Amino acid sequence: EVWTLLSARQLASTQKMLEENAKNLPDRTIVVADTQTEGKGRAGNKWISPPGCLMCSIYCNIAMEGRKLPLLQYATTLAAVQALEMLCGDSGKGPPGSTKPFASIKWPNDVYINGTKVGGVLCQTVYKGSGAFQLIAGIGINVDNAEPTFCINQALRDLDREEIAKEELLAEMIPRLVHAYRVIAKDSFSPLHEEYYRYWLHSGQKLKVKADASLRDGEGGEDKDVVVVGLSEDGFLLAQDEKKVLVELYPDGNR
Ligand code: BTN
């Protein structure tokens, strides 16, 4: 399988570049930029894009059921934290699950270290007909930039470990991404659950669900206290209320 890698010193946004040019580029193209002048974050936010931050967007066409689309952002975030674990983690130095992962997932798609966001994922899909979707997955990871918050290399220095280069992180991430997208398209997210839950921050977390949150079964009616239990097959956040009734929350409906 061939992937095309395009690299630029500066772009407005790797995401925008692919949105505007995907039709003229080969399927499976990755665009990387050293800096961006108009980096895009989720929900219309800006992504601060200084040198040192790994900023890339991945374009590929995937044949899959539309209901599984929210899972692609989880797969992308999972690939990012797995790659970080591979390069920076303690894995293998104790029984499985005994060590805290180097970076964790804040649902739906933020990368966190010690309570601070160090990376994020933005997935955009467009239906292309015949059961296929065009995916443009953008990833930003603060590898070596102190601004705006904290970065991977600072975390590594604090642990007396060797710093990493953003190219290494990209190289570790891409095969994991490709694997995870394949699993989702062919099967579902469940083969990835175990890995995913190793990194995510929410098992057993208590939440207040607002009456106007987007619940799968319509509007909530009143505020509810719930405990997070996991993810549903098609990417909803699953939580249990006091009566052990399961509620499902959609990624963008719960802040
Ligand atoms: C978020 O946490 O809000 C998602 C941030 C995604 C940022 C990346 S940087 C590379 C790609 N190009 C963009 O303009 N945005 C994404």
Domain identity same for 32 and 151: yes
Question: Whole-prediction pTM value?
Answer: 0.91
- pLDDT given for residue 248 in this prediction: 84
Q: What is the ipTM metric for this complex? A: 0.99
- Site to substitute for ligand 1 among 122, 142, 170, most atoms within 8 A of C-beta: 122
Helix (H, G, I), strand (E, B) or coil at 80: helix
Local structure of 195: helix, strand or coil: helix
Residues with C-beta less than 6 Å from any ligand 1 atom: 13-15, 36, 39-42, 45, 47, 55-57, 110, 120-122, 138-140
Q: Chain-wide mean pLDDT for the chain?
A: 90
pLDDT recorded at residue 183:
96
Question: Of 233, 209, 229, 206, whose CA–CA distance to 221 is shortest?
Answer: 209
Q: Are residues 94 and 175 in the same domain?
A: yes
Q: What's the CA gap between 74 and 164, in Å, rounded?
A: 24
- Distance of CA 109 from the midpoint of ligand 1 (Å): 11
Same-domain pairing of 229 and 165? no
- Residue 16 pairs in a beta bridge with none
Which residue among 10, 32, 47, 255 is best mutated to probe the pocket of ligand 1, counting the most ligand atoms within 8 A of its Cβ? Answer: 47
For 170-192, what is each residue's pLDDT tens digit?
Answer: 999 999 999 999 999 999 888 99
Greater model confidence, 247 or 199:
199
Domain that holds residue 110: 4-199
- The number of CA neighbours under 13 Å toward the Cβ of 168 is 13
Tell whether 134 and 221 lie within a shared domain: no
Ligand 1 atom 10 nearest Cα = 55
**Rounded to the nearest whole angstrom, what is the distance from the C-alpha of residue 102 to the centroid of ligand 1?**
21
What pLDDT is stored for residue 254 in this prediction?
A: 36
pLDDT of residue 80: 98
- Per residue in 45-99, pLDDT tens? 999 999 999 999 999 999 999 999 999 999 999 999 999 999 999 865 666 666 7
User: What is the percentage of the chain residues whose pLDDT exceeds 70?
Assistant: 91
Q: Do residues 142 and 76 share a domain?
A: yes
- pLDDT tens column, 201-244: 988 889 888 766 656 665 556 788 889 998 887 788 889 988 88
The residues, ordered by sequence, that sit 6+ positions from 1 with a Cβ below 8 Å of its Cβ are 28, 178
- Rounded to an integer, the average pLDDT of 111-137 is 96
Which residue type does 95 have?
A: P
pLDDT band at 20 (very low <50, low <70, confident <90, very high): very high
CA distance 157 to 216: 44
Alpha carbon of 200 to ligand 1 centroid (Å): 20
One domain, residues 108 and 219: no
**Where is 104: in which H helix or E strand?**
strand 104-106
| Residue 13 Cα to ligand 1 middle (Å) | 8
Based on the fold, state whether residues 168 and 77 are members of the same structural domain.
Answer: yes
Nearest by Cα to 101 from 73, 81, 77, 120: 81
Instruction: Report the length, in residues, of the chain.
Output: 255
CATH number at residue 109: 3.30.930.10
pLDDT of residue 137: 98
